[in-house]
Amino acid sequence: MFFTYLRRELRRRRKAALVVASGLALGIALVIVVTSVSSGMNGAQDKVLQSLYGLGTDMTVTKAATPATGSAQRPRFRFDAQDDDSGKEQSSDHVLVQGFTTLPSSTVGKVAGQRGVAGAVGGLSLTVVKVSGQFTRGRIQQNQGGDQPGGYGGGPPQGRVAGGGADFDVNQYTVYGTDVTEPALGPLTSSKITSGRAFQKTETDAKVAVADSAYAKEEKLEVGDTVTIKGVKFTIVGIATADSGAAAANLYIPLKRAQTLSGTKDKVTTIYVKATDSQQIDAVKKTIQKNVSGTTVTTSADLADTVSGSLSTASHLAAGVGKWLSAVVLAAAFLVAGLLTSSAVSRRVREFGTLKALGWRSGRVTRQVVGEAVVNGLVGGVLGIALGLAGAYAVTAASPTLQAQLGGGGATGGGPGGPGFGGPGRQAARTLEVALTAPVSATTIALAVGLAVTGGLIAGAFGGWRASRLRPADALRRVE
């Protein structure tokens, strides 16, 4: 009887039911789109962070940089220009530890042994500055006294040097020494090998390198080519493409080789740490800071606070304005649905009075009204989910490009290949571009269903309260 009457009443009042359902649908659709876009913002930010410190890394451990004294940290290039060097190519390169003071390699083991640490691996970030070019010897041009006062000749021969000089080019690129025995951690994990192969665990001291795809394209490098770093030739065994934004370094080489080139034996600049439980990252951070002195521990959450640019702006809008707008629209939709349901009850006074006269109790009339409102809410939920999915799909299909800037001052410092995750001394700002998507999760769908049912119950509560107050005698005296 309940469902039969429910079906008949909904069919008889299709227009009113559609208006209520449409209002709820708009509110629910907006909630889905805003929630999905916010999720996409978080995913985009995660991609930006992973491009700096690698997939699976929860925090890094570094040592605070100390101000350089004298010329110890400044590259010096010496060239001897001999008579027989004219026109000959000369080059010299200098390998610098990038942005940090170093930590002993033994610190990696200390960090790995801390409670809550699932794994730790060290890395060495380097900058190579190469100067190459040639000297050209000048030629002496002589004048036979022609420049003497009065224009008289016969004076001593006069001469000057014409031409000659030096033409040198400065090339700078980044090199990252990676622990090839632990391929699951570190910045190289944020890139995918698209040509050739990755490092083998046995190549701890091999003269091999993996090149970033953008750098390889710029320098016209391919698998099998060689690059020379401080007189040592490295064979390129693979080309890696960053999953998002810029790569951590232009070239990756085994850690031991990087230490030899830079003269920092048994030293690392960064320790990448993976926690056993992602919910305990803050606790692990405190443990490392307490037990491993002289280090700075930075989590991905710390670095996320330094992200600026259009990604940060859009994220704030989605989290602030978007959510407040969704709440206001949803509240308005619930209120309108309740008022429309209450108004519909007032137009059905004679009907409900007749039902009460036939023996229906107030509770049964109320349940009937609430049942109709819940069905309207579910219909609105279905329409809202459809509209929300369409909106999220449109955002994903458009894939607007957002910029994220990291670095450029502040207390948090550079990471491998540029500014980012780590200690003080951050370098110039680094800009990355990411495509925005709007993924819809099962949780979002469940939220939409919950909102639909809630909207129906709220509307039913308005109408049910109104219906429960009707008296049969008063209702029967009214004429529609």
3-state secondary structure of 428: coil
Mean pLDDT of 421-446: 65
Statement to judge: residues 150 and 218 lie in one domain:
yes
Mean pLDDT of 351-379: 76
Higher-confidence residue of 185 and 248: namely 185
Q: What is the mean pLDDT of the chain?
A: 75
Residue 411 belongs to some domain of the structure: yes
pLDDT at position 85 over 60: no
Residue 461 CA to residue 367 CA, distance in Å, equals 10
Lowest pLDDT segment from 12-26, 39-53, 306-320:
306-320
Mean pLDDT of 403-411: 54
Residue 18 CA to residue 65 CA, distance in Å, equals 66
- Burial class of residue 257, CB neighbours in 10 A (0-12, 13-18, 19+): buried
Query: What per-residue confidence (pLDDT) applies to 307?
Result: 65
Q: Identify whether the C-beta of residue 270 lies closer than 8 Å to the C-beta of residue 99.
A: no
Statement to judge: residues 442 and 349 lie in one domain:
yes
Statement to judge: residues 106 and 233 lie in one domain:
yes
Statement to judge: residues 40 and 95 lie in one domain:
no
Entry pTM: 0.59
Statement to judge: residues 232 and 350 lie in one domain:
no
Statement to judge: residues 329 and 425 lie in one domain:
yes
Statement to judge: residues 44 and 190 lie in one domain:
no
pLDDT in tens, 44-66: 776 766 665 665 677 888 885 55
Residue 304 belongs to some domain of the structure: no
State phi, psi for 39 to the nearest 5 degrees: -65, -40
**Domain tally, the chain:** 2
Statement to judge: residues 140 and 73 lie in one domain:
yes
pLDDT in tens, 210-248: 999 989 999 999 999 999 888 899 999 999 988 765 677
pLDDT at position 252 over 90: yes
Residue 146 CA to residue 159 CA, distance in Å, equals 11
Positive/negative CA dihedral, 228, 232, 238, 239: negative
Statement to judge: residues 353 and 460 lie in one domain:
yes
Query: What per-residue confidence (pLDDT) applies to 411?
Result: 37
Residue 99 CA to residue 51 CA, distance in Å, equals 18
- Could you report how far apart the first and last alpha carbons of the chain are, in Å? 25
Statement to judge: residues 175 and 200 lie in one domain:
yes
Cα–Cα distances in Å, from 175 out to 76, 128, 229? 19, 7, 9
pLDDT in tens, 372-384: 778 888 888 888 8
Statement to judge: residues 21 and 104 lie in one domain:
no
Residue 420 CA to residue 426 CA, distance in Å, equals 7
Q: Which pLDDT band holds residue 417 (cuts at 50, 70, 90)? A: very low
Query: What per-residue confidence (pLDDT) applies to 180?
Result: 92
Tell me the residue range of the domain where 16 lies: 2-50+310-477
Mean pLDDT of 7-18: 70
Higher-confidence residue of 39 and 147: namely 39
Residue 137 belongs to some domain of the structure: yes
Statement to judge: residues 110 and 249 lie in one domain:
yes
3-state secondary structure of 142: strand
End residue of a domain, out of 236, 258, 293 = 293
Residue 276 belongs to some domain of the structure: yes
End residue of a domain, out of 293, 320, 336 = 293
Task: Give the best-scoring range by mean pLDDT among 187-191, 217-221, 411-415, 416-420.
Answer: 217-221
Residue 303 belongs to some domain of the structure: no
Residue 57 belongs to some domain of the structure: no
pLDDT in tens, 133-177: 665 665 666 665 545 554 445 555 555 655 555 666 677 889 999
- Burial class of residue 310, CB neighbours in 10 A (0-12, 13-18, 19+): middle
Residue 58 belongs to some domain of the structure: no
Residue 60 belongs to some domain of the structure: no
CA 101, distance to chain mean position in Å, is 27
Query: What per-residue confidence (pLDDT) applies to 95?
Result: 83
Higher-confidence residue of 61 and 353: namely 61
Query: What per-residue confidence (pLDDT) applies to 428?
Result: 43
Percent of the chain with pLDDT over 90: 19
End residue of a domain, out of 293, 328, 352 = 293
